[in-house]
Structure 1
Amino acid sequence: MAKKEHTFEGICRDIVQKQFAPVYILMGEEPYFMDKITDLLLENVLTEEEKDFNLTILYGADSDAAKVLNAARRFPMMSEYQLVVVREAQMIRDIELLTNYVKKPLEKTVLVVNYKYKTLDRRKTLASAADANGILFDCKKIPDYKMAGFISTMMQMRQISIDQKSTQMLADYLGNDLTRLNKELEKLILLMPSTGTKRITPELIEQNIGISKEFNNYELLRAIVNKEVLKANRIIQYFEKNPKNNPIQVTLTVLFNYFSNLLICYYSKDRSEYGLMNALGMRNAFQVKDYLTGMRHYPAMKVFNLITDIRLTDARSKGVDNSSAPDGELLKELLYKILH
């Protein structure tokens, strides 16, 4: 039987349901996932009273493998579990010496190893032992084009409603900085009405984060997909007047991701709605509709050429072969190439 593939949502759900693994090795470039899982374990494994005798927090700069092993091999006192959290474990030089313990971990110890900004060598025995006997989770950065879907999932976990436009507004404005995203979402949640359906709307985002609900990259992309020339030009003019809140690099990233995915659609053997969902790794049919529309409006060769145009505009915005044209003019020139 193939080993279960762990997801962030699945790990969090199991922890809240008090289903703990004996070992968690959390590694990778995205600290948000690591911190969130660790915080959930700190909240759920022990009660506040049990923490006095059963919680050990170690730091890699002050620890070695022997110190971690001594802590992990203790038995809990007046508690079902003891919790050992190792922060900054990437600084432990002899960390591979944890392998024998991880191969046969104590059932009453929950060992959490935060190997931040780096990954264990999967060819070595510690990683494979953790994968076999606990949870080895690679906390990867989320690509920009998947951020809207991730935001939607985050809100589902919190039982808060959010529409497609709101998720895309947040994704375009905040990028894939999950720590910043979480802070902004917490702020929006606090500002919601205390009664009725909890819902994040474009109006709530506009009022409290400063993103225009009418003039943003989401609306620009909708206009481009549907070839609404007047609307697209109005949005670009707004961007030109408000460059601080609408940096060209964010807009170019949104356009590049869309047309790159559109090119993938042309290479897909199955161009049905379901086939394109699989090709693009999307969960919902509504996400594919823009690509079906785009294929009607933009031939494959034009899409290929537009990807080159977007790359060139990006280079020019950074000063390559461009000594005078401001960002607003570069966007207007690119928009003309897209729509004509």
Structure 2
Amino acid sequence: MKYQQFLRELEAGRIAPAYLFEGEEDYLKEEALKKLKERIILPDYEDFNYEKLSALDVPATQIIESVSTLPLKGPHRLVVVDAVDKWSEKDQRTLASYLENPVKSSCLIGLTGKFDRRRKLYQEFQKNGKIVSFYPLWDEEIIDWVQQRIRKEGKEIDPEALIYLKERIGNDLHNLNQEIEKLIIFTHPARIIKKEDVEKVAGEGKGVGVFDLMGAIREKDLARALPILSQLLERGEPPLRIHSLIVHEVRSLLRIKEKKRGLSPQEVCSIIFGPRNYYPGFYTDLANHYLQAAKKFSLSELITDYEDLVEAEASIKTG
């Protein structure tokens, strides 16, 4: 089956005792594994009921021991084994024997690139479990994937912006996802992502997007920030637009630094993006970057920088 069919079966609650995830599209494998884990593993008991191992490091007998362990405070254990195609013939046959009568309270995931379909292990996965194929998406599938990914965040993307994003970034889903995360944050609170937004975030080449500039500022890396700023200006980025982004960056760091107690990632998200009931995972990841960045500055530095930026804004507007 393909990735989308796997998701439909997962949504319907049809969980097989074993899956073989085959193919070269690692990003979708990670997504599928994440969704399966969220479905069957209670977060508070992940340490007890989830285990990821590699066939390069452990024999099949250890995997069988793991999947034979009863789950704690939940219906399933989830055991993931990478590189199952690298096992010896003996280990593959050992696991194939297990698959003839798999433990119902465990879900076993085998990860592989290409796998010889004549192997007994492959055939047992096919007979008593499910094989899910993950191969690079076609162009039209990538377009659909990008649209769905953006709609998941409550936004839409203009067709022109969508084509430009794909042409600019390519077909690598990891890279596309990273740019989408940046676009979601950059365009907040607007609902539509436009081509000019993609141009500003993705830039014309590596290292010249506005997010690269903001990252250099957070890292207090002047040597990296100045060339990026120069490239943005040469590309025609409006100075006032760049300035407003820098002001937002410094103001956010200042508000974080002003707090005398430790802030949670959710509280930092509220400072950066405004209060809301839910923040996507990549928002909280970015919040942790801000927490670490604030430690690089003293409070007096940030106050002085912010005051200088306010004065500069007045100068820019008055010419």
Place the TM-score, normalised by the shorter chain, in its bin. 0.5 to 0.7
Q: Against the structure 1 CA distance between its residues 126 and 163, is the aligned structure 2 distance closer, same or farther, given a 3 Å change threshold?
A: farther
**Residue matched to 2:71:** 76
2:57 corresponds to which of 43, 59, 62: 62
**Residue matched to 1:108:** 105
Residue type of the alignment partner of 1:11: F
Shift in Å, 1:104: 2.7
Shift in Å, 1:159: 5.0
Q: How does 1:81-160 map to 2 (within 5 A)?
A: 81-93=76-88, 94-115=91-112, 118-144=113-139, 146-156=141-151, 159-160=154-155
- In 2, distance between residues paired with 1:18 and 1:159? 26
Residue type of the alignment partner of 1:162: I
In 1, are the aligned partners of 2:179 and 2:201 still within 8 Å (CA)? no
TM-score using structure 2 length: 0.56
Give the secondary structure class of the aligned counterpart of 1:25: strand
- In 1, distance between residues paired with 2:121 and 2:143? 35
TM-score using structure 1 length: 0.53
In 2, are the aligned partners of 1:27 and 1:138 still within 8 Å (CA)? yes
**Residue matched to 1:282:** none
Decide which moves more: 141-150 or 49-58. Answer: 141-150
Residue 161 (structure 2) pairs with residue 166 (structure 1): yes
**Residue matched to 2:202:** 209
What number of residue pairs does the alignment pair up? 205
Q: Which runs of 5+ in 1 are unaligned?
A: 1-5, 213-241, 243-340
- In 2, distance between residues paired with 1:127 and 1:138? 13
Residue type of the alignment partner of 2:133: D
Superposition misfits of 4+ residues, deviation over 6 angstroms: none
Give the secondary structure class of the aligned counterpart of 1:83: strand
Residue 12 (structure 2) pairs with residue 35 (structure 1): no
Once the two structures are superposed, residues 19-70 of structure 1 have per-residue CA deviations (whole angstroms, 9 ceiling, x without a partner) of 4322121121111111111222233321122223222221222112111111
Q: How does 1:164-243 map to 2 (within 5 A)?
A: 164-194=159-189, 198-210=191-203
In 1, are the aligned partners of 2:3 and 2:133 still within 8 Å (CA)? no
Residue type of the alignment partner of 1:108: S
Residue type of the alignment partner of 2:127: A
> What do you get for the CA RMSD once the two structures are aligned?
2.8
- In 1, distance between residues paired with 2:128 and 2:153? 30
Once the two structures are superposed, residues 170-208 of structure 1 have per-residue CA deviations (whole angstroms, 9 ceiling, x without a partner) of 2211111111111111111222324x6x43321221221
In 2, are the aligned partners of 1:64 and 1:95 still within 8 Å (CA)? no
Q: Against the structure 1 CA distance between its residues 30 and 19, is the aligned structure 2 distance closer, same or farther, given a 3 Å change threshold?
A: same
Q: Against the structure 1 CA distance between its residues 49 and 127, is the aligned structure 2 distance closer, same or farther, given a 3 Å change threshold?
A: same
Residue type of the alignment partner of 1:105: P
Q: Which runs of 5+ in 2 are unaligned?
A: 206-234, 236-319
Once the two structures are superposed, residues 253-299 of structure 1 have per-residue CA deviations (whole angstroms, 9 ceiling, x without a partner) of xxxxxxxxxxxxxxxxxxxxxxxxxxxxxxxxxxxxxxxxxxxxxxx
- In 1, distance between residues paired with 2:122 and 2:153? 32
Give the secondary structure class of the aligned counterpart of 1:69: helix
Identity %: 25
Shift in Å, 1:101: 2.3
Q: Against the structure 1 CA distance between its residues 132 and 188, is the aligned structure 2 distance closer, same or farther, given a 3 Å change threshold?
A: farther
- In 1, distance between residues paired with 2:93 and 2:121? 6
Shift in Å, 1:84: 0.8
In 1, are the aligned partners of 2:50 and 2:77 still within 8 Å (CA)? yes
Residue type of the alignment partner of 1:25: L
Once the two structures are superposed, residues 206-258 of structure 1 have per-residue CA deviations (whole angstroms, 9 ceiling, x without a partner) of 2211259xxxxxxxxxxxxxxxxxxxxxxxxxxxxx9xxxxxxxxxxxxxxxx
Shift in Å, 1:82: 0.9
